[in-house]
Structure 1
Amino acid sequence: MVERRAVSSRGRSSFICGPSPVSLTSREIALVVDELQPLVGAFVQKVYLPEPRTVIFDLRQPGKSRLLLVCAETGRTRLHISSDRPPSPQTPFAFQGLLRAELTGKALERIEAFEGERAVRLGFRGKTGALTLVAELTGRHGNLFLLE
């Protein structure tokens, strides 16, 4: 996969995956979720937000680390393993601080696709309880929600 950066209209760096941004279908999301199941049990080491609705989890498993990208950006929603961590924005997004505070050290307990929908649920569990990140990967109006 080719990765490149572009500058958005706000002058911020934009992390774009692939030669032409395309959103995933509900069927493709379900297939990707199946392929991501080996990540269940991994611990969150760090959370990055290179863009307002793009989260990259640095997940640790015995002997290796993996970067899981969840992108709900307009027109290029996706979910996949990433080989590189994108550059951080000059000004961090507030949601990054919340995700780092709440999810660092928690285990990824489940990754599920909503049947027939372009949405996924990532469940995390730790000493302080369980949290769920819901990613609406709907293309035009994608969004991320952290739920108790």
Structure 2
Amino acid sequence: MSALEAALTAGRLAAEGLQRETVRLYRPGTAAFDWDTGTDGSSAPLALYSGPARVKPVARSRGEEVEAGEVNVTLREYTVSLPWGTDVSERPAVGDLVEVSASPDARMVGLRLWVTGIEFSSTATAWRISAEDRS
């Protein structure tokens, strides 16, 4: 094992030690209503990942206020770090959702984040996903 591989292995173990939240990463189902039959044909959400993660606010995030559907919302940026070797059923995409289901900080439970970007790197210590809180 090279010195780089040893350093990455140690860094990845350390990063996993910081992943104290449990999250669910999923793609929302598509809404569909059949006007001819009057039935709901919406598809179920697609589960991509469930397990440990680190959910951390971005230090430089100021909380940008925007208008959405005539309601003011504040966008706050987060970085969601999953274990580096995470396998997912499909690659996450912008618009997917991350929900915090457990955390040592009880205030984070139920936090819902929209994926805004996915980062890939062979020398990263964790798989990082950019997301935002739209509340």
TM-score of the pair, normalised by structure 2: 0.32
- Max Rg structure: 2
Q: TM-score, normalised by structure 1?
A: 0.30
